[in-house]
């Protein structure tokens, strides 16, 4: 049997903040994962800075090989964050690279373990476009093609559409969309207009088009309980997921507390991890 533990976490720029670097690193190590997908590692303006370099040095010193990139290289596409994929040194690494997933970059790692070829696709899909989220899933599926065991994981910015939370978010989004006025740019808006824009975006995410696309392509979510990964009750939602191809069995799914030892949040997202098996 081939077994490996994986993790995915949108870090909300923790590797650009000196107060969060060590607690975030400790949480990653606590997950016990051999392959990790990290989204929003740091803001783009900090990717060449000393704090980010020190964060990557910590990971390298802990025995990880890693590939990093800006979330997008395309002109006109919002690209204000870094992404990364990590593979532990005791795993046979066959390739580790950046791939295109819609208008954003994703990460792809291929490893060999116990005579099984695994492929891991890491995504950070956009919150502003359902079409681009669907395109990103299709593109990553193509990149993963030909692997005996394929895993797609990261921040999908999409909800399982049949969940009660998604149904409520869709209803709220439709009510908001019927109100007069238009939100021109969510990121530039403030006050009530920004709240309305957030409701619209959550309504779009709650349609679950990217999730349904992954499932139609044969992938299965390893978290049947559909844990929430962002927000606070009662406004918490599951946007981060780990999907596996047929033949891959999962166990020991864990959603980690996002708070550090001081009680402050390390990110607005929870780290999720699972142990995967083939054979």
pLDDT in tens, the chain (279 residues): 999 999 999 999 999 999 999 999 999 999 999 999 999 999 999 999 999 999 999 999 999 999 999 998 887 777 789 999 999 999 999 999 999 999 999 999 999 999 999 999 999 999 999 999 999 999 999 999 978 899 999 999 999 999 999 999 999 988 887 777 666 565 666 776 777 877 889 999 999 999 999 999 999 999 989 999 999 988 899 999 999 999 999 999 999 999 987 788 999 999 999 999 998
Q: Where are the beta strands (DSSP E) in the chain?
A: 2-10, 35-43, 64-70, 81-88, 92-101, 104-113, 116-124, 149-155, 220-221, 230-232, 235-237, 240-244, 249-255, 272-278
| Domains, the chain, with CATH or none | 2-160+208-278 (3.60.10.10)
The CA distance from 82 to 151, in Å, is 21
Quick one: pLDDT at residue 187? 63
Sign (positive/negative) of CA torsion 22, 10, 151, 257? positive
The CA distance from 215 to 205, in Å, is 16
Are 158 and 125 contacting, i.e. CB atoms less than 8 angstroms apart?
yes
- The three-point CA angle 269-9-97 to 5° equals 145
Quick one: pLDDT at residue 73? 82
Quick one: pLDDT at residue 198? 79
The CA distance from 206 to 44, in Å, is 28
The CA distance from 147 to 138, in Å, is 15
Residues in contact with 263: Cβ distance below 8 Å, sequence separation at least 6, in sequence order: none
Quick one: pLDDT at residue 176? 81
């Amino acid at each position: 049997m081939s077994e490996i533990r994986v993790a995915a976490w949108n870090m909300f720029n923790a590797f650009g903040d000196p107060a969060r670097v060590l607690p975030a690193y400790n949480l990653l190590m606590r997950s016990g994962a051999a392959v990790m997908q990290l989204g929003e590692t740091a803001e783009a303006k900090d990717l060449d800075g000393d704090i980010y370099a020190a964060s990557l040095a910590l990971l390298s010193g802990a025995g990880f090989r890693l590939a990093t990139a800006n979330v997008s290289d395309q002109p006109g596409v919002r690209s204000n964050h870094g992404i990364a994929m990590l593979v532990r040194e005791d795993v046979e690494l066959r390739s580790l690279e950046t791939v295109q997933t819609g208008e954003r970059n994703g990460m792809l790692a291929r490893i060999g373990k116990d005579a099984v070829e695994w492929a891991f696709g890491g995504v950070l899909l956009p919150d502003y476009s359902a079409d681009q989220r669907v395109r990103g899933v299709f593109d990553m599926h193509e990149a993963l093609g030909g692997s005996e065991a394929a895993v797609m994981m990261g921040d999908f910015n999409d909800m399982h559409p049949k969940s009660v939370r998604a149904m409520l978010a869709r209803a709220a989004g439709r009510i908001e969309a019927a109100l007069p006025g238009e939100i021109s740019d969510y990121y530039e808006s403030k006050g009530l207009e920004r709240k309305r824009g957030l409701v619209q975006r959550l309504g779009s995410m709650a349609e679950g088009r990217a999730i349904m696309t992954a499932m139609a392509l044969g992938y299965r979510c390893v978290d049947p309980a559909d844990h929430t990964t962002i927000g606070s009750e009662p406004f918490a939602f599951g946007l981060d997921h780990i999907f596996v191809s047929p033949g891959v069995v999962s166990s020991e799914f864990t959603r980690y507390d996002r708070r550090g030892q001081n009680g402050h949040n390390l990110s607005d997202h929870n780290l999720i991890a699972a142990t995967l098996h083939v054979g």
